[in-house]
Amino acid sequence: MRLGARIKNLRISQGVLLKELAKKTGLSISFVSQVEREKTSPSIDSLSKICSALGVSLAHLFSERETKEIIFIKKKKKKMSFNFSVFNEALGIKMKPLILNLKEKDIVFEGRERGEEFGHVIKGKIGLEGKGEKTILNEGDSVYLINPLRHKLQNLSNKNSVVIWVITEM
């Protein structure tokens, strides 16, 4: 699919009128229309404004993969490793869901300057330490971290613990 058609499809799928996109980007209606109809080639700056207004990355716009609003991932038959990413990073997804299969006394260090993280304990008992706070998360407990900086997860159970951990990629 050509660039102009991708932009138009994204705009229409989000219910955004041509006039609204032009206003959000600061570009003229006729210019955006010409871009969608492949009558002109936009600068990187103009493309960046369009992507920002539509909530997608430039990489997403140029991706050869077809854009889908719902993506299903089938379970792999092989045994999970310690840190298993559910989605392929090439999909351009902002959230990165992980399945952490922590063996007895395993420790994981994470940290970002920006972003958000969410964790949910499926099985076991986890110690969470960060920003001067310590807490214990039991099976069924969840945690939400904003701008998490450096933090540590530790399996406190004498058996394997399983945690769903979702990280936003900023």
Rounded Cα distance between 156 and 166, Å, is 21
Q: For residue 165, which of 113, 152, 156, 26 has the smallest C-alpha distance?
A: 152
pLDDT tens-digit series, residues 90-127? 455 667 788 888 888 887 776 665 678 888 999 999 98
CB 22 within 8 A of CB 14: no
Q: Residue 49 pLDDT > 70, yes or no?
A: yes
pLDDT tens-digit series, residues 53-92? 888 888 777 775 554 444 444 444 444 444 444 544 445 5
HSE-up of 138 (CA within 13 Å, CB side)? 0
Q: Residue 147 pLDDT > 80, yes or no?
A: no
The rounded percent of the chain whose pLDDT value lies above 70 is: 75
Q: What is the mean pLDDT of the chain?
A: 78
Rounded Cα distance between 101 and 123, Å, is 9
pTM above 0.75, yes or no: no
Residue 120 tokens read as 């949910």
Residue 60 tokens read as 């997403």
Q: Domains of the chain (ranges plus CATH)?
A: 3-62 (1.10.260.40), 83-168 (2.60.120.10)
